[in-house]
Amino acid sequence: MQYWSKLVPALTWLRGYSRANFVNDSLAAVIVTIMLIPQSLAYALLAGLPAEMGLYASIFPLVAYALFGSSRTLSVGPVAVASLMTASAIGSVTATGEVDYATAATMLAFLGGLMLVTLGLFRFGFVANFLSHPVVSGFITASGVIIGLGQMGPLVGVSLQGDNLISLVIALRDQLPQAHVLTAVIGFCCLVFLLLARFAFPKLLKLMGLGPRAINLAVRAAPVLMMIVIIPISMAEDFAALQVPIVGAVPSGLPEFSSPLLNWDLISELAMPAFLIALIGFVESVSVGKTLGAKKRERINANQELVGLGAANTAAALSGGFPVTGGFSRSAVNFDAGADTQMASIFTAVGIGLATLFLTPILYFLPKAALAATIIVAVLSIIDWKIIRQAYRFSSADFLAVTLTIVITLVAGVELGVLIGVAVSLGLYLYQTSKPHFAIVGQVGASEHYRNIERHEVTTYPEILSIRIDESLYFANASYLEEIVFDQISRKPQLSDVILMCPAVNIVDMSALDALNEINERLRDLDIKLHLSEVKGPVMDTLNRSDFFERLTGEIFLSHHVAVSELRARMTLG
């Protein structure tokens, strides 16, 4: 049973499911369902897809994640960044007309799902570490700007073509004179209402005596209230006859299961975009899941998250949807509404399913400008310009990474932006670890503690050089270790012993081993002995599998204080 619980985490919370859980999950599902309907429609249009695909992507993927995901409160579905990346990916492969948008989108979800499940089964959850937090924040911020600017077209009734800031600004400048006045009025009225709901209504509701939780839920429900008002007006005034773009016919009924089109040319073109969408979605989902999980002391398993999100995307592909991931806004609403388990997501899927059965005739009259306003306000929460200032104050390397990611994404588009983000993250890691911190240490007073001579008043001895290594040793920094050692040796003519203090060394690879052997041999020629202190067990095991200890001129000491004390005692006796 324990094996099946690891494979299907839902079995764990289902065993203890209670009536109280049912009540909490049902209430949360109602609230999230109300929020998801306009969001799902809006994100489908953002991806360049028929509106109903947004609803389809919010039914079976929720059930799949509920069964296989490790978070009890994460809510999956279409999100802004993944929708933008989907639009960018399928736009190029459908340009010839051989493949339609819907087919390309389902294939994108299918490929991403298979990749995520495969990575999860092979325990590749650590891929989330390939993207640093500043880089992810920079990429999402730039994507939010592109999304918001791109929605200015539907907001005023014109079509904007472009996937980066420059092309969108040019398109908006050229198209703005053709804006449809009534559409623009509707769009800006909806936008103003949603902005007031986001920034002004909380203060008003607080004065009315509502608590923080009720206020938060009321603000999140504002798009639904907007729909309740605008749809009857659209029906009464016949906006369609007045040339106002509306959602139009949305097929009623649940999505039909079908297998994606196995076209190898299409697969090869979509493989890289699918991986990038899956990677960004996974990083975002794990971040949201850990944030919410910490509040309930739940542990998020990155490997199981890969499987859960992979299952959700595969379900989306098989049921006419497009790439999905865990969204912060819907997950936060799900959490704030009191969801106890993933049964809330299953109930939400039922609610969205009922909407596709009975509400589609009403959604016909919904102006697209209202959905554009919904997207613009939604992306305001993901745009974080503060990350630039924080990175500037904290680290020049992080500042360079986040600035470069934002600029590349804005100028060249989201796909190149995320590739640059991955490259910058890995580049920063290699750069920072290629020149790790090494400290010359001395004894603090009469204690057994040894600290950096540049930061503390310590005692050192001309015959002994103590170097503390503050990083694992591998191919990227092996030669730098040699430089540090021999640079220090050149300054100490009386030197007889060198001790490498290794409390922070967790790994020694073959390149580092070669460097240690080279240091040992060169010191032997200078009649200087090499010693190691405070070496961790796994590192000792690695070194034991080589001939390093047989060639070592000095000794291995359990503690650095013992090493210095014994060497000094020998010098005194000698």
Tokens read off for 437: 């911190």
How far, in Å, CA of 535 to CA of 251, rounded? 67
Nearest to 470 by CA among 444, 446, 506: 506
pLDDT value of residue 2: 60
pLDDT of residue 206: 85
Distance (Å, rounded) from C-alpha 241 to C-alpha 386? 45
pLDDT reported for residue 137? 86
Q: Please list, in sequence order, all residues whose beta carbon lies within 8 angstroms of the beta carbon of residue 363, skipping any fewer than 6 positions away.
A: 41, 51, 231, 247, 250
- For 456: left if phi > 0, alpha if psi spans -120 to 50, otherwise beta; the answer is beta
Contacts 24+ apart (CB under 8 A), 204-212: none
Instruction: Give the pLDDT confidence score for residue 284 in this predicted structure.
Output: 87
- The confidence score (pLDDT) of residue 16 equals 86
**Which stretches of the chain drop beneath a pLDDT of 50?**
none
Report d(CA 91, CA 531) in Å as an integer. 61
Q: Which domains occur in the chain, in start order? A: 18-429 (no CATH), 438-573 (3.30.750.24)
pLDDT score at 574: 58
**pLDDT tens digits along 338-351:** 899 999 999 999 99
| Predicted local confidence at residue 435, as pLDDT | 82
- SS3 of 497, please? strand
